[in-house]
Structure 1
Amino acid sequence: MPVYEYVVIHDDGSEGERFEILQSIHAKPLTQHPESGLPVQRIISQTAPPKIPGGTKQSKPDLSNQNLERLGFTKYQKTDSSSGKYEKVAGEGPDMIQRD
């Protein structure tokens, strides 16, 4: 269930206390503060950007050789562009594989 952010609206129209509440995505927005009964308005707050594997600086540590090996993956890198040979740089498996 998502967390929604609300703000209390005073009689003069100014904003008051902000609070968060866990609600079903299908629930109607609150119109009153759950404790005080004051009128409230749901506000849109900033969200965290999605994490794109291999696409951002944040994700690079996730794809490090050490992390891949820790998670049970094996990683190979080409030794050169023409030979078709790949050398293991992380994980378990043969030290080298070669294209037929």
Structure 2
Amino acid sequence: MPIYTYETLPTDNQKMEQFEIFQHITDKPLTVDLNTGFPVRKVFTPGGDIHNKGLKRSTVVNKLSAAATACGCSKGNKL
């Protein structure tokens, strides 16, 4: 389940506070803080992302290996 960030909407001398909560993606957004009852709004934060660097330059592919070719054959093997 995704984690959503909310912040309280301060009134008078209240301090704005943020909190995170697990919610199902189909749940309606919160309108009040479940602990204090103060009104809240959802904060949109940048999503995480996964970095994949791919093959390292030092990775050597053995092209004579049958696994290295799409057809499963290799240059050195004769049928």
Indicate the TM-score class for this superposition, using the shorter chain for normalisation. Answer: 0.5 to 0.7
Question: Aligned letter for 1:63?
Answer: L
Partner of 1:59: 52
Shift of 1:15: 6.7
Q: How many positions carry a matched residue from both structures?
A: 67
TM-score by length of 1: 0.53
Preserved CA contact (<8 Å) 1:7 1:19: yes
Task: Indicate the SS of the match to 1:42.
Answer: strand
TM-score by length of 2: 0.65
Deviations 1:24-65 (A, max 9, x none): 11111001101011110011011113x3xxxxxx422x5344
What RMSD over aligned residues (CA atoms) do the two structures have, in Å?
3.0
Q: Give the number of the structure whose residues are more often strand, by fraction.
A: 1
What is the 5 A alignment of 1:14-33? 16-33=16-33
With over 3 angstroms needed to count, the CA separation of the structure-2 counterparts of 1:40 and 1:15, relative to structure 1, is: farther
With over 3 angstroms needed to count, the CA separation of the structure-2 counterparts of 1:15 and 1:44, relative to structure 1, is: farther
Gaps of 5+ in 2: 66-73
Gaps of 5+ in 1: 52-57, 66-74, 77-85, 89-96
Aligned equivalents of 2:15, 2:44: Cα separation in 1: 14
Deviations 1:2-36 (A, max 9, x none): 11100000125x87100100001111100110101
Aligned equivalents of 1:59, 1:42: Cα separation in 2: 30
Percent of aligned positions with the same letter in both sequences? Answer: 31
Deviations 1:50-83 (A, max 9, x none): x3xxxxxx422x5344xxxxxxxxx43xxxxxxx
Q: Give the number of the structure whose residues are more often helix, by fraction.
A: 1
What is the 5 A alignment of 1:65-84? 65=59, 75-76=61-62
